[in-house]
Amino acid sequence: MIQIGNETLMIDPVFADRSSPYQFAGPKRYRPPACSIAELPSIDMVLVSHDHYDHLDEDALKELNKRFGPIFVAGLDSASVFPKKSVIIEMDWMHSR
C-alpha cells in the first residue's frame, strides 16, 4: 500500500491463506496479512501487476471493490478476473496515461 497525499494505492493485494486457486492446496502463508481489508483506509486504486496466483487474489479484489470501489489497473485482456461493475483500466507494457 502506498499513500501519496490523499490518494491510496494498493499493489497486488493478497489476503488469502494460500497462494492458489483453491484454499485447500497450494503454498500457505508464513505470516498473516498485516491487517484485514476491514482495517484498511479508503483505497482509491489497485494495481495488479500480473495474473499469477501470488499477485491476484480474486476474493480480495471483490471485497476491495465492494468496500471502496477503487479503479483497478491491470494488463491487457485481464478484465475477466475483476469483479463485475468495477472500473478497470487495462494497459499494455510501456503504455502510459
Contact call for residues 41 and 67 (beta carbons, < 8 A): no
Burial of 61 (0-12, 13-18, 19+ CB in 10 A): buried
C-alpha cell recorded at residue 93 = 507494457
Q: pLDDT tens per residue, the chain (97 residues)? A: 999 999 999 999 999 888 777 777 777 888 999 999 999 999 999 999 877 767 788 889 999 999 999 999 998 888 888 888 889 888 887 777 6
Predicted pLDDT at 91: 83
For the entire predicted model, the pTM comes to 0.85
Query: Where are the strands (E) in the chain, listed by range?
Result: 2-4, 7-11, 45-47, 71-75, 87-91
The domain locations on the chain are 1-15+40-97
Predicted pLDDT at 45: 97
Q: Terminus-to-terminus CA distance in the chain, angstroms?
A: 21
Predicted pLDDT at 97: 67
How many CB atoms are closer than 10 A to CB 65? 20
